Amino acid sequence: MTGNGRLVLAGAPIGQAGDVSPRLREVLGSADVVAAEDTRRLRRLATELGVEITGRVVSYYDANEAGRARELLEMLKEGRTVVVITDAGMPGVSDPGYRLTSLAVEEGVKVTALPGPSAVTTALAVSGLASDRFCFEGFPPRKQGERARRLASLAEEERTMVFFEAPHRLHDSLEAMAEAFGPDRRAAVCRELTKTYEEVRRGGLAELAEWAAPGVKGEITVVVAGYVAAAGELDVDDLVAEVDRRVAEGEQRKAAIVDVAKRAGLPKRELYDAVHRRSDTP
């Protein structure tokens, strides 16, 4: 272990200052160094929280991340506590933080985190889409060709997918997703999560692209349902077996049928009939 320094990755509120934890208040007030994506926003947050930052405040954003990470590493090796905080959410998740964390781990510096709000999991929770398995894909490429190739590679991704997107590129991205995943693939566009004008739009990708065409404002997170095989490709016997397994574990048969059919993209009546045919078979 190098020195006694400690790197703290601090989750920041994505909309409401009241969502911060007591530990974040404590650490902001006691840290030797606070590295902030936007120092002015940090000062405003501290004022709202009634916290006095006594340590050194430095900027740490995309443009200076590579160089500043080395400086912060030296401070950690000297035994200081360094807190990294971004404008919203968790450092390192489509925000500065990964480079410094990687360097600190290589040098044997202690790295910890203060869990906090995340647009990724918040959007997933309110989307209404399957949340038992998901992947985070960050921002789609800006260039049309690169974006099309990236999305095409995800066309058969079975997990629910979460993307970030800039409001002025949302319409184009939704159109590209409709092209790659199919116009009726279910999705949710989550705008301004936890803020005053929070809005969640759910529907097929083509429908959502049409809604976004006039323009959308705010912080955007897009959640897209994973791929399921067409009904004709499904092995209904496997789905019946899944229902039987869940019933054996204590789940109500009707609830199991509804959920398994929904996940498979199969009409629940078709699965209901298959389950009951199996039950009636001697």
Task: Give the pLDDT confidence of 51-69 residue by residue, as tens digits.
Answer: 999 999 999 999 999 899 9
Residue-level pLDDT at 116: 87
> Is pLDDT larger for residue 280 or for residue 148?
148
User: What is the average pLDDT score of the chain?
Assistant: 91
Higher-confidence position of 2 and 60: 60
Residue 179 inside a domain? The answer is yes
Q: Are 120 and 148 in contact (CB under 8 A)?
A: no
1 domain residue, yes or no: no
Residues 217 and 269 in one domain: no
Based on the fold, state whether residues 141 and 175 are members of the same structural domain. yes
Any domain includes 268: yes
The total domain count for the chain is: 3
Domain shared by 113 and 69, yes or no: yes
Mean pLDDT of 159-174: 97
Which of 94, 117, 140 is at the close of a domain? 117
36 & 95 share domain: yes
Domain assignment of residue 240, given as a range: 231-280
Residues 19 and 63 in one domain: yes
Q: What is the pLDDT of residues 86-123, one digit of tens each?
A: 999 999 988 899 999 999 999 999 999 998 889 999 99
Question: Residue 132: CB partners within 8 Å, gap ≥ 6?
Answer: none
Q: Are residues 188 and 250 in the same domain?
A: no
Say whether both 14 and 87 belong to one domain.
yes
CATH at residue 154: 3.30.950.10
Give the integer Cα–Cα distance in Å for 191 and 94: 17
Q: What is the DSSP letter of 52?
A: -
Q: Residue 100: inside a domain, yes or no?
A: yes
Judge if 150 and 213 occupy the same domain.
yes
Q: What is the dihedral of CA 125, 128, 132, 135, to 10 degrees?
A: -70
* CATH number of the domain where residue 94 is located: 3.40.1010.10
* Helix axes 39-49 and 22-30, enclosed angle (nearest 10): 120
Q: What is the pLDDT of residue 234?
A: 62
Distance CA 183, CA 209 (A): 9
Handedness of CA 40, 26, 63, 192 (dihedral sign): negative
pTM beyond cutoff 0.85? no
